[in-house]
Amino acid sequence: MLHRVNLVTAILVIALLGLCGPIYAEIVHPVDYHYKSPGYGAGWTSHEDPGYGPPEWRITTPEGNVILHVPNQPRENMTKLFWLQLDFSELPLVLPHPQLTSEPWIQITGGNPTPNQGSLGFTWEWQLNWQPPWEDINFGNAFPWASVTNIEVASRCVPEPGVGILGLAGGLTALGLAQFRRRKKTS
């Protein structure tokens, strides 16, 4: 009975830790793609690049929206984690809300800002159901670029979540079978 209580307690603790979001955000390393820039229209410094090249600034018309285009290599069986980190010299009066877009069939979740630890800024994190050939970050046409001191774009491909769930289910099944065999030997 004590083993069952310990197992249930361990599962509950792991579940609670997984459900609690971070108080502060950061780009989770290692990443596959990581570029930094001191601001809008400035050049990019590569920290990690598998050969796709740096992001490109684009302006759409007639709205005048500023778009950051990020190139990729499509990978259908990988989930994509995507981060945008912005640091400001002073926080804007209205928090910006950049939008991540890609091919129409890509499912994108997330995009809520989380404060950066140790700086005036925020990190947005998105998850895409698989890695598309590109992503665009739409900043709109009224973004507070004058106060931006750092822009970081990073991404990482990870195996689809189903692989982890199957592994967890297999592990729990193995634990259950071991417990069953142990009980059977003692009786």
For tokens 């609690």, the residue is 20
Whole-angstrom distance, CA of residue 17 vs CA of residue 26? 17
Domain assignment of residue 10, yes or no: no
Domain assignment of residue 79, yes or no: yes
Whole-angstrom distance, CA of residue 26 vs CA of residue 182? 45
State the first-to-last Cα distance of the chain, in angstroms, to the nearest integer.
15
Domain assignment of residue 82, yes or no: yes
- Reduced to 3 states, what is the DSSP secondary structure of residue 184? helix
Domain assignment of residue 73, yes or no: yes
Residue partners of 121: CB distance under 8 A and separation at least 6:
85, 86, 87, 88, 115, 150
At 63-99, the pLDDT tens digits run 889 999 999 888 878 899 999 999 999 988 888 899 9
Can you give the residue range of the structural domain that contains 58?
Answer: 28-166
Domain assignment of residue 36, yes or no: yes
**Where residue 47 sits, what CATH number does that domain have?**
2.60.40
Stated pTM of the model: 0.71
Domain count within the chain: 1
pLDDT at 172 over 80: no
Sign of CA dihedral 164, 169, 11, 129: positive
Domain assignment of residue 116, yes or no: yes
Q: Is 2:178 a contact under the CB 8 Å cutoff?
A: no
Domain assignment of residue 51, yes or no: yes
Domain assignment of residue 86, yes or no: yes
pLDDT at 130 over 90: no
Whole-angstrom distance, CA of residue 151 vs CA of residue 129? 24
Whole-angstrom distance, CA of residue 180 vs CA of residue 3? 12
At 38-52, the pLDDT tens digits run 998 889 999 888 888
pLDDT at 171 over 90: no
The average pLDDT across 154-178 equals: 67
Whole-angstrom distance, CA of residue 106 vs CA of residue 125? 16
Q: Choose from 22-31, 110-119, 157-166 the range with maximum mean pLDDT.
A: 110-119
